[in-house]
Structure 1
Amino acid sequence: MAATTKEIALKLLIGVLSFYSVYYIAASLLHGIFVLENFDGKIPFHYQSYDSVFHNKTVWQNPYFLSDFLAMECTFVSATFVFLTFMRSGLWDYAVTITLLHCGLVCLVNLTFPLVWEWWLSVLIGMILMISAGELMNCYINRLKTGKFSPNRDKNTIS
């Protein structure tokens, strides 16, 4: 059964809101763990701190960078489990769409296009983790329900 445009838009809205809710929760926790003094409301949109991550070894000792990096990666992994509560099919599609929306919002908030390739690599890795974890969990849930291990829950052709 095909989903209507209204259902897709509602799931996308819930997905975006839950993604940023998880992002701010992770950022708040990590700022508390690293005992950082200021909590910037634009934390999900930071990309400047990723510059020269692989060339400058001291950046990995910077608690502000570590907080930003860990918050982003934890968000991509944790948001997967939040998404699984309200969407079972097409999780990879929503993950890609929400990631693209996030990249667009980063450009809009900063009024510039992020040219820091390390940030793009981190976003790509996070998206791949989100898709992989989501599809594996979907397969596992499907196996528990039907006894068959198949990524498509409607057509169980693989035993």
Structure 2
Amino acid sequence: MALQVRVAPSKVVWQNLLICVILFYTVYYVVLGMCCVMLKVYELDVLAPFDFKTNPSWLNTNYKVLLVSTEVTYFVCGLLFVLVVEEWVWDYGISVTILHVAITSTVMLEFPLTSHWWAALGFGLISMICGGQTLAYCLFKDNFIYPDLDDF
């Protein structure tokens, strides 16, 4: 006799979202550390993932570290989210990004209005969704969920 545990669908969604957020920030800090070592930046703040006030200049090494770590994190997390949420990468990617903006606003005590930060976030989100959804399609194409558009 097997023990059967039924989990409410909303609980699964919240659990997956929590896993994705933890995965996102774990990857972010690992990539940030690697970028700091590669670009020889030794004075970066612990709150670097939330920093949107750094001067956007290619001469500013801190800015390059923040930009590269953001883009690499988004792309890698798009691939890793497939392991957690299968074909719903786009949904969880958008949700994690919205949470990241909310956490950033809370940590920095102001809403980010800098265009370079939003551009980096947008490009990262697009790469997350495209890379993750492509991998999800390749891995799960036999049981991929297609919407039924006949009733529209």
Fold match (TM-score > 0.5): yes
For residue 142 of structure 1, report the CA deviation from its aligned partner: 2.5
For residue 5 of structure 1, report the CA deviation from its aligned partner: 0.6
Could you say what the CA RMSD is over the residues aligned between the two structures, in angstroms? 1.8
Give the corresponding residue for 1:84. 82
Moved more, 31-40 or 67-76: 31-40
Give the corresponding residue for 1:113. 111
Q: Does 1:18 align with 2:23?
A: yes
- The C-alpha deviation readout for 1:50-84, integer Å capped at 9, x for no partner, is x5x4xxxxx10211110000010010001112211
TM-score w.r.t. length of structure 1: 0.83
Unmatched tracts of structure 1, length 5 or more: 54-58, 147-151
Task: Indicate if the aligned counterparts of 2:78 and 2:131 stay in contact, CA closer than 8 A.
Answer: yes
- State the percentage of identical aligned residues: 27
| Distance (Å, rounded) in 1 between the aligned partners of 2:58 and 2:50 | 19
| Distance (Å, rounded) in 2 between the aligned partners of 1:122 and 1:91 | 19
The 4+ residue runs of structure 1 with deviation greater than 2 A are 154-157
Give the corresponding residue for 1:56. none
Give the corresponding residue for 2:62. 64
How many equivalent pairs are there?
Answer: 141
Q: Does 1:5 align with 2:44?
A: no
For residue 136 of structure 1, report the CA deviation from its aligned partner: 0.9
| Distance (Å, rounded) in 2 between the aligned partners of 1:155 and 1:93 | 15
TM-score w.r.t. length of structure 2: 0.86
Give the corresponding residue for 1:45. 50
Q: Does 1:127 align with 2:118?
A: no
| Distance (Å, rounded) in 2 between the aligned partners of 1:154 and 1:101 | 26
Task: Indicate if the aligned counterparts of 2:79 and 2:128 stay in contact, CA closer than 8 A.
Answer: no
Unmatched tracts of structure 2, length 5 or more: 1-7
For residue 114 of structure 1, report the CA deviation from its aligned partner: 1.0
